[in-house]
Structure 1
């Protein structure tokens, strides 16, 4: 009877894009399964919501369309697809930092699912379509919550499994490894920024603001494309170590919290929670996105500053050398020489998955 070995991958056949590691394949498989289940549940929610023409299906005290519910269900689907993409990218490139960020993102999806559930509890009368869908919304929270715990456990295994990656990529220079770690953190933060910045702008432009409101066109014409442009400039500045572009990105990030604080104050001072309050059914969602965005902005700004100080210190050259195969050859030669000149010891190489006492990210 065949047994399952933790040192052998589930899929032994080499497939491009699929990591050749047991724990990495488990992580990716769980991410795909979670995404499939979430997509099925959300498609059912959207189909039932769109087919319900009853106003009372969504509220017994306020006049509200099901449009906002459809937007948030759709946004959840986009978030889940974004999650599985960055999860695959993280394990395919053996990026420990992005694996950790992906697990944290799944935890945020869990919080978002809880907000969806409790927000719908408050507006769904008994024996309505919205009330019947509450069970599915509760299942979303349970699924993402359990998966978050599983991803956290798998993250530790991947941290151990990918430990040699930095050494093989850039050598054993601690200074270079530290700079590379900061670079990977900033790249991961930029990716998360894109989702949360654009996600917040879409919500305010489609659910809160009106076509006749000038602020709507500012959101659509300035905030959304401006956010993408700044983050794209950040990727460019980091890759080519362009100090001037990075300073522009840091300035834009530094003034961004003022915009979100303005939106936060406006959201709670626009009026009473009555039928004329444009935020009454979106306030919890927008508050969640504002908090996450401010935290991400502060983290990204600090990370930009650290990477800016590292410009011109050799990381770019070392990365290019790795791409040309020079670093790997150097590391392999150093490893062979070290084994050959160790008195009384033969050159013994343990399998990667069994060697847990190796270099790791500090």
Structure 2
């Protein structure tokens, strides 16, 4: 079980933990204050009354998932994922900024129907303003820690790949692609949860959205497996499915703003739009990453991304003929070391 083992890994972890704790406490207060003062028999059945519980659920999942990714990034000493976590934090900041106006609209709409008092917005507004401010501060602190972690993790990357610049570039593209898959999962699921909870129309489209959740998880797992095994046809099939997902989110964007369907999406249209736009951007980047990784197949990267070896970092024979294979990511094909090659620095007398 990995635990942070340096000043900057501990700092990065603590920033994520403190940020998550404070924001979840604020969101819980807003939710509790809202639910306590909600009154009326039919109040809980309105779309507006489901807006705040959805925000809270999504934030809980978002920050728990972020803490999991923080642990994973530090465990793997993955600089790319650390940088991705900062961008993830920016996404949560944008979402926190958007939710203020949506909650205000939800409270005022419920107040018109006498389901809640307008003063609830005045009571919760300071906490909702504080959430993006805390996220901005947390993003700045995480960026400072990431700068130090970049130097700290650079030696690990060097020991994995040695000084081969072309292999470093291929390995970097692989890391970026795997990180994108992890972030794709959250943003797709976040959009789907909001759609299922807030949009009340039960049509074929709704059922297909529910069915898409397990299918998406399987696609992302298959994508990671295919790239590790350098399965070209599997990767091509996944890329085709990515284009299907891209078409789906573009369709949703158009549907949300079409006059005939606008009413069904109105209570959370801004949040759904935010998640849809971020997901579209991520899918495009994921398609590019998949193409780059497929281009690198059969070029010697596979030994670096296979099963981790049991040799400790400090004991690896860096600089020897076995150095490219004595890495954390794998020993070689079928777990065996390749034949010993003559070192370029050795002088041989014929």
| TM-score, scaled to structure 2 | 0.82
Describe the shift of the 1:174–1:265 C-alpha distance in structure 2 as closer, same or farther (beyond 3 A). same
Q: Given the alignment of the two structures, is residue 210 of structure 1 paired with residue 201 of structure 2, yes or no?
A: yes
Q: Aligned pair in 2 of structure 1 residues 286, 23: CA closer, same or farther (>3 Å)?
A: same
Residue 25 of structure 1 corresponds to which residue in structure 2? 10
Shift of 1:66: 1.3
- Alpha-carbon spacing, 1:185–1:245, altered in 2? closer, same or farther (3 Å): same
Match status 1:107 vs 2:90 = yes
CA contact (8 A) 1:46 1:70 kept: yes
Match of 2:249 among 235, 260, 271: 260
**Deviation of residue 115 (structure 1)?**
0.6
Conserved 8 A contact 2:48-2:106: no
User: Please, which of 63, 72, 82 is the counterpart of residue 65 of structure 2?
Assistant: 82
**Structure 1 residues 114 and 23: CA distance shift in structure 2, 3 A:** same
Q: Contact 1:19 / 1:25 at 8 angstroms: preserved in 2? A: yes
Structure 1: runs of 5+ lacking an equivalent: 1-15, 335-362
How far the C-alpha of 1:74 sits from its partner, in A, is 1.1
Quote the Cα distance in structure 1 between the aligned partners of 2:205 and 2:307: 49
How many residue pairs were aligned?
Answer: 310
Q: Which one is further off, 98-107 or 155-164?
A: 155-164
| Shift in CA distance, 176/51, structure 1 to aligned 2, threshold 3 Å | same
Which deviates more, 230-239 or 16-25? 16-25
Question: For 1:322-341, what aligned pairs fall within 5 Å after superposition?
Answer: 323=309, 325=311, 329-331=316-318, 333=320
TM-fit CA distance, 1:71: 0.8
- SS class of match (1:281): helix
User: Over the residues paired in the alignment, what is the CA RMSD in angstroms?
Assistant: 2.5
Shift of 1:68: 1.8
Per-residue displacement from partner, 1:308-338 (whole Å, max 9, x unpaired)?
111111111244496254996331658xxxx
Matches for 1:58-97 after TM superposition, within 5 Å? 64-97=47-80
* CA spacing shift, 1:227–1:76, aligned 2, 3 Å: same
Q: Distance in 2 between matches of 1:224 and 1:307?
A: 25
